[in-house]
Amino acid sequence: MRDPHLVPVIIGVGEAVDRPESPAQALEPVALMAQALKAAEADAGSGAVLSRLDSLDLVGLVSWRYADPVGLLAKQLGVDPARKTNASMGGETPIRLIHDAAVAIARGEQQAAAIVGGEATHSATRAQRDKIMPPWTPIASREEAVRFPSSRFAMSPPATDLGMHDPAQVYPFYEMAAQHAWGQTPAQAQAESAALWARYAQVAASNPNAWIKTAPDAATIGTVTAENRMISWPYPKLMVANPQVNQTAAILVTSLALARELGVPEDKIVHIWGGAAAREPEDYLLRDAYTHSTAQQVVLEDAAAQAGGADHFKHMELYSCFPVVPKLALRTLGLQDGDAAPTVTGGLTFFGAPLNNYMGHAAAAMVRRLREHPGDLGLLYGQGGYVNKHHALIVGTQAPAHDLAQDYSVQDKADALRGPVPPLVARHDGPATIETYTVRFGRDGAPLDGIVIGRTPAGERLMARVAPDDAASMDLLLSTERSAIGAEGHTRLDPFGKLTWEAGARRTLADRPRRFSKVEREGPLTIVTIDRPDVMNSLHPAANAELAEIFDDFAADPDQWVAIITGAGDKAFSAGNDLKFTAEAMAKGQPIDPPVTGFAGLTARFDLDKPVIAAVNGLAMGGGFEIALACDLIVASEEAVFALPEPKVGLAALAGGCTACRG
């Protein structure tokens, strides 16, 4: 006979959703969490659970900065548990906290625990947009704000340099690699993702706590439109998590003995059977492969074994930040479309993604589902980070025949199964094949650039950018009929100091079309003409890069002794930075950094030992004037005009104008 004081059960779940008409009426995250906990207490059918808590765990939140959110929450509820924690970040966190609470009960260390989390991101975003300070707890300074564990993950310099830190940019690496390993074309894989996501959407439509209840079909989900724009290849907006929600959820875990003492009805009680957890290496560039996750595999296989087989799971919640996660999980579990639905909640796109606490809502939905189907088993699988952390929990209304295992880690199995990790290189000039890839898109739906993870002939791993104007390479990455994995190309350092991948044979400067400049050679003289007369020869990043490569070539050519730079037309040498392009690029989220060698490839080029002459034939303003100042000699026509107008628009002439013109 098992001691009921050591049997962990879930007795109550609660959720809160806030849809205010204006941010001034919105509830802050802690207030929403208090509502969820009170709802969980009411759900348990006992009015005394919160006062009996031994522990209160608050899942890491992002939408508002607090100094001590769990302390504030306890104060609002009028409770003071012996242990109060501001718990970690990560999508698996609610499942881990439920499991940890159950283990503590099984050890006799506590009798009642509450797990709560959520966000008010939608209201916070609206308040910021409308420049309204909501009537919430005063926001803590960055120095005073609580620091939740797992707020950051280790990341290698190549990923940092290319800004590849958004999960929406990282999960596609797994998607593209996995679909290629499964023998699918990108189009076939996209159809599978859309059909799977439609199943999630249907469940969300019947969930009263879901944020989106329109239940779009697979065709709508998979078709790219202005409203369903591409985010990162191959995922459009309706295939990525939706954090713009105000949602909180709470779960009450107690011993079976306390549940009975409190008078919780037997048909409300859900038993915690067991589960498993494991992690991948924290840095996603230091993984063995992107076709699978060994941590996910062993966690789900172990959970299935504990249940007597995956077919014993009549109800499931498979984490759904992006389609590749449940697609991998379904294959590991050996389940098909006709088997149990992958969700009881609705998924992070349609139900909503209160960041780290979606699985808190999933636990609430699972408890309600199991109460409706006594005797069934449910699987809750959560995942956090960049495919980093994996946790599965098995729950059912019937008590298991065994005691709860106090060690749920299967890390040793994951580590033993993991393959060798290739060495990572930050620089490589030579051949490289694509291991996996994605394409980042701007807010206007146009590609910003491609990102490839590649392999050198020696088997080393690298990460490189693909320029958006490299049509041959971008067409390869964006093909729906053929995967780019295995495609051969070459990498080089581009004018911005970024490693760049180009499809096919190594390209020389002559292979690259000149769109923004002209180059003439007269013996040892190189004449460079900025060729954008329609915009007063102003420069944007692509034009700057083209000029930088021209001057790289000039510097390296011993037969070229002197260079002249001038502007096309008779109105301007160069009007400097292309401000219209810059404004549009910033709105798209497109980078606007200058080359390593500076504006036009000259203003930060300090090692050139050949003379450059500026032939100023009109306006030389801002950056255009600074280009001229970077030259060794300026020859100006009678129509030449020089100006540094940056202060009029709140800027400074920091590419040489301030230092060269002082005095």
Question: Could you list the active site residues?
Answer: 626, 646
Closest CA to 53 of 282, 306, 254, 191: 254
**Strand ordering across the sheet containing 389-396:** 83-86, 55-58, 112-120, 246-255, 8-17, 270-279, 389-396, 377-384, 313-318
Sequence-distant contacts of 539-542: CB under 8 A, at least 24 apart: 539/574, 539/576, 539/577, 539/578, 539/599, 539/600, 539/623, 540/577, 540/578, 540/581, 540/582, 540/585, 540/592, 541/496, 541/585, 541/591, 541/592, 541/593, 541/594, 541/595, 542/469, 542/515, 542/516
C-alpha distances in Å from residue 279, one per residue of 284, 296, 321, 387, 484: 11, 8, 17, 8, 29
User: CA torsion sign, 564 to 567 to 573 to 579?
Assistant: negative
Q: What is the DSSP string of 606-641?
A: ----S-EEEEE-SEEETHHHHHHHHSSEEEE-TT-E
Q: Which two tokens stand for residue 468?
A: 């958006």
C-alpha distances in Å from residue 439, one per residue of 120, 214, 429, 477, 598: 30, 28, 22, 7, 27
Label the pairing between strands 499-503 and 488-493.
Answer: antiparallel
Residue type, position 159, single letter: A
What does the chain come to in residues?
663
Give the gyration radius of the chain's Cα atoms.
Answer: 29
Is residue 426 within 8 Å of residue 454, measured between CB atoms?
no
Q: Which residues, including other chains, have CB under 8 Å from residue 115's CB and lie 6 or more apart?
A: 57, 59, 94, 97, 98, 101, 250, 251, 253, 360
What single-letter DSSP state applies at residue 55? E
Is residue 565 within 8 Å of residue 613, measured between CB atoms?
yes
> What's the farthest any 2 CA atoms get from each other in the chain?
102
- Burial (Cβ within 10 Å: 0-12, 13-18, ≥19) of residue 662: exposed
Is residue 113 within 8 Å of residue 52, measured between CB atoms?
no
- Burial (Cβ within 10 Å: 0-12, 13-18, ≥19) of residue 194: buried
CA distance 464 to 499: 5
Question: What secondary structure, in 3-state letters, does 411-465 show?
Answer: HHHHHHHCCCCCCECCCCCEEEEEEEEEEEECCCCCEEEEEEEEECCCCCEEEEE
